[in-house]
Structure 1
C-alpha cells in the first residue's frame, strides 16, 4: 500500500531543503499530524516506514549504498571501477564538492530517517496508541531511537570532525519533530556523541530481542554502541560492549563459520548479520523501489592486493580467498535471485564487531593483547588464514586495519574511516599514503549547498 503524509506529518528535513517540493521526497500517507498515530497498527506502520527509508529509492540503491562506494574509493584499498555515481571520480580524488548529488541525497536520507523517528517517538511518549502495551511501546521507541542514533552517527562521521570531541564542527542534532522551516545550528562533536549514546543506552535497555535481522534489536544497539565508543576513543567501554555482544548467546547472533559467500546468499537470515533491511519490496506491501540490484563501482587497488598476499603469511602464489570471492564478481557479495525483487545491504555484521573488540582491547589502557588477537584470529580462522601473533601494539593495529579492509570491502566504507581514525591516533600518515589527500580538511565532506541555503544557521566545513 502506498501512503502519503500531508505537509504536517511529512518531514521537510529540518528546514534544510526548503527549495525542494515535498513531493520530491517519497511520502507515506494522506494523514494529518493528529491521526498519524492513533493505535498499535498505525504506530507500527510508521515504524516500518523508518525501516524502509534505509532501502527504498526508486533508483534501486539507497544512498547508504552510494555513500559506501564513495567512502570506499576515498581511501587507498579501493579504486573507481566504473562510474556508477555521477561524482564518483571526485570521491576517488578526494575533491568532492558541495554540489555533489550523492552527498545531497545522503543528507536527505539521514535526516528523513531522523525526523520520521522523531514523530513516532513523540506520539509513543504521548501515549496516543491506546491499545499498545507499555512494553511494546518502549520496544518501538527503542527501535526508532536506534535508527535515529545510527543516522546521527553516520551524519557526524560524514560532515563532522568525529575524530575530535573538542571540535565545534559537529552536525545538526534533531530529537524533536520539525514542523516547518527552522534555523538549526551545528552542535559540537561531543554533544552529538552525547545524543547518540543517550539513544543507544535507552535502546540497549528497552529494545526487543530474538527478532528477524531486518529489525534492529537491543543486541544490535549494543553492537552499534561499541562502534560509536571506538570512534570516540572510549576504548574500555567499546571493548566491553563488543565483548558482551560476542558472548551473548541469547539473541542468536554469531560469527558465521560456514562458506563465506553464504553470508550474502542467505541475506538477513544468516546468523552473522546484525542488521540488514528487508529488501524485496513485499514487507507490508511497500512499493518495490528497494528491490533493485546493488552494483558497485569500485575495485581493489594494489594496496589491497598486497594486503591479501600478505594475509597468507607466506611469500608464495597463495592469496586471501576474500580477495577473489568479493571483488571481481559484485553479485557474489550482493547476490540477486531474479525470481525475487532484489537484495539487501549490510549495516553491521559480527565479523566487524570482533574486529572492533580487537582494536578497542589493544588500544585501551592496560589492554590485553591475547584477547585482542583471539578476536582478530577468529575472523581469520574461518578463511583458513594463519593466526596473527604478538609482535608489538603497532603491528596488531595494522593487522586489524588490514583485516577490516579484506573483510568489509564494498560494505560500509569502513576502511576510509579507519584511515582517518588511525591518522589522528598517530598510527599512520594518510597524507603520505594517498597523494590526493593534501589537507586534513579533506577528511570530512562538504555540507550540501542546498542544506546551507535552506538553513542559514549552518556553517560550512573548512
Structure 2
C-alpha cells in the first residue's frame, strides 16, 4: 500500500511537499481494514466516501510508525524515547562516529539551534498537524462521509492534534498554534503562549471525548477510543496542575471496566494485544517489530549503542523485577553494558506493538493527583502507588506524609517509565526539579537557565521573522 499526500506544512521552507508512506507488510491489513485508494491528495475527493476519508486518518498513524529515524529522526516513537531519555540522563550514546556529536548534545545539555534531530521534531510535528487540520476541514465540508464515520474521524483528528501539540509544547515551550491549512499565513505566525497551547490541547481532547466511543474502531487497540482521549487528558491535567480534574479523568479509565482489573505480568506489557494497552501503534515495516527492538537490543557480547547511565541503574530497589524484565545486559560480566529491554523483538514475525498509552500511567496519575490534594486523598494515592509496586515485586509502601509520598511517586515513575516516551525528562521539567537533578550531571557550564527547553530550529527562525529563540540559546 502506498499513500501520497501533498502537504504544505508550517516549517522552515513552507513549500508544497510530497510525503510518501510505504506500508509493506501483509499484517497491516489488521490496521487498515479495507483497501485504501493507492493515491490521494488533501482535496475534496478524499472526503467523498467513508473509505478514503478513513484512509487519510490512518495515514497519520502509519506515518508515525514508518521508520524515518535513520534520516534525522521522527516526531514520536523511537526518537522521543531515545533522545528524551538522553536529556533525562537515562541513556548515553556510546558509539564514536559521525552521529555522536549531534546525539551527545542531548545528554550533555549542549543543544544547538542547528541540531538536525531537534529540527526533525519540529518539522514532523507540524507536518502531522497540517495533515490533521486538512482532515478536519475536509470532514467539515464533506457530504459524502456518513455521520457516524465523520464523528469518529473528527474525534480521532482532534485527539491527534492535541497529541502533537502536547509534545511540541513540552519540547519547545511557546510554539505557533496552527489550526488551519492556510499555509501562506501559517508561514509567518509568531509563537503562541504555552498557556494558550495547553488550553487548545484540553479543548481538543474534551471535544474528542464527546465524539469517540468506548469501543475501538478495530479489533485491536490500534485507533484511539474515548478512553485514549481521556488518558491524554488526564496527563494534560496533571502537567497543568489541575489535580481534581486529573484524578477524575484517570479514575474514569480505571473504573470503566473496559481494562484489566489486575495489571498484567511485566513480560507481557509490550506485546501486541497487551491487556494493559489503552492505545498501541502497529509496526508497518516489512518483517519488523518496533524500532526500539531494532535499535536497543544487543546481540552478542558488545557494548550497547544506547547504554543506561549509572544513575538510572542505581535507582532500582533490591528485588525490583522491572530491572530484571526490562533491562538487558550484553555481557553478564560487565553490568555497565545495560540497555533497554522493554521491547524484545527485532526482525521477524510481529509479536510486539508500540505502546503509546498504558493503564499503569493512569494509576500513577491518580496517585500523584490525590497526593497533591493531600488530606483525605492520601490513602488513595498510597493505594495506587502500591498497585504498581506490587507488580514490580518490591515492598509495599506505608508512607503517610504528603511530601514524602510525592517523592516516592516521582521515584516510582522513574523506574516504571524509564526509556519510554521521554517521561522522565518531562517529569523533571514539570515539577521544577530538572536543574537540581540534571545540572550536576552535565559537563560544567553546559546547563543554563532555560535548558529544560529545546532550541527553536535556526532554519525556522530564518524563514519566519516573527519567531524568537528560547532564552538558553539566544545570542
- Alignment TM-score, normalising by the size of structure 2: 0.82
Gaps of at least 5 residues in structure 1 are 161-169, 312-317
Aligned-pair distance for 1:279? 0.9
Alignment of 1:387-426 (within 5 A): 387-423=396-432
Determine helix, strand or coil for the equivalent of 2:278.
strand
State whether structure 2 residue 242 is matched by structure 1 residue 234: yes
Relative to structure 2, which stretch is displaced further, 272-281 or 223-232?
272-281
- Conserved in 2, the CA contact under 8 Å of 1:280 and 1:343? no
State whether structure 2 residue 386 is matched by structure 1 residue 380: no
| Corresponding residue number in structure 2 for 1:295 | 295
| Corresponding residue number in structure 1 for 2:267 | 261
**CA displacement 1:172-231 (0-9 Å, x = unmatched):** 112212444621111111110111011000111111322222111110101110101111
Determine helix, strand or coil for the equivalent of 1:11.
strand
Match of 2:53 among 43, 47, 63: 43
Alignment of 1:333-344 (within 5 A): 333-336=342-345, 338-340=347-349, 343-344=352-353
* Cα distance change of structure 1 residues 457 and 377 upon mapping to structure 2, 3 Å threshold: same
Aligned-pair distance for 1:126? 1.6
Determine helix, strand or coil for the equivalent of 2:215.
coil
- Conserved in 2, the CA contact under 8 Å of 1:56 and 1:288? no
Determine helix, strand or coil for the equivalent of 2:44.
coil
**CA displacement 1:293-344 (0-9 Å, x = unmatched):** 5423543323223321xx3xxxxxx431212322225584223264326854
Counterparts of 2:42 and 2:201, CA distance in 1? 29
| Corresponding residue number in structure 2 for 1:354 | 363
- Conserved in 2, the CA contact under 8 Å of 1:13 and 1:111? yes
Determine helix, strand or coil for the equivalent of 2:7.
coil
Alignment of 1:270-349 (within 5 A): 270-281=274-285, 293-296=293-296, 297-308=305-316, 311=317, 318-328=318-328, 332-336=341-345, 338-340=347-349, 343-349=352-358
* Cα distance change of structure 1 residues 450 and 29 upon mapping to structure 2, 3 Å threshold: farther
State whether structure 2 residue 194 is matched by structure 1 residue 185: no
| Corresponding residue number in structure 2 for 1:95 | 110
| Corresponding residue number in structure 2 for 1:66 | 79
State whether structure 2 residue 83 is matched by structure 1 residue 76: no
- Conserved in 1, the CA contact under 8 Å of 2:455 and 2:469? yes
Counterparts of 2:256 and 2:230, CA distance in 1? 11
Counterparts of 2:81 and 2:328, CA distance in 1? 17
- Alignment TM-score, normalising by the size of structure 1: 0.84
- Conserved in 2, the CA contact under 8 Å of 1:157 and 1:444? yes
- Conserved in 1, the CA contact under 8 Å of 2:62 and 2:284? no
* Cα distance change of structure 1 residues 123 and 362 upon mapping to structure 2, 3 Å threshold: same
Match of 2:161 among 136, 143, 148: 148
Q: Over aligned residue pairs, what C-alpha RMSD do you find?
A: 2.8
Gaps of at least 5 residues in structure 2 are 23-37, 297-304, 330-338
Counterparts of 1:229 and 1:208, CA distance in 2? 21
State whether structure 2 residue 233 is matched by structure 1 residue 218: no
| Corresponding residue number in structure 2 for 1:165 | none
* Cα distance change of structure 1 residues 19 and 146 upon mapping to structure 2, 3 Å threshold: closer
Q: Could you list the runs of 4 or more consecutive aligned residues of structure 1 that deviate by over 6 angstroms after TM superposition?
A: 287-292
| Corresponding residue number in structure 2 for 1:315 | none
Counterparts of 2:42 and 2:382, CA distance in 1? 55
* Cα distance change of structure 1 residues 179 and 33 upon mapping to structure 2, 3 Å threshold: farther
Alignment of 1:6-45 (within 5 A): 10-14=6-10, 16-18=11-13, 22-23=17-18, 29=39, 31=41, 33-45=43-55
**CA displacement 1:139-198 (0-9 Å, x = unmatched):** 1100111011010010000000xxxxxxxxx11112212444621111111110111011
Name the one with the larger strand percent: 2
Counterparts of 2:289 and 2:323, CA distance in 1? 31
Counterparts of 2:370 and 2:86, CA distance in 1? 28
Counterparts of 1:345 and 1:451, CA distance in 2? 31
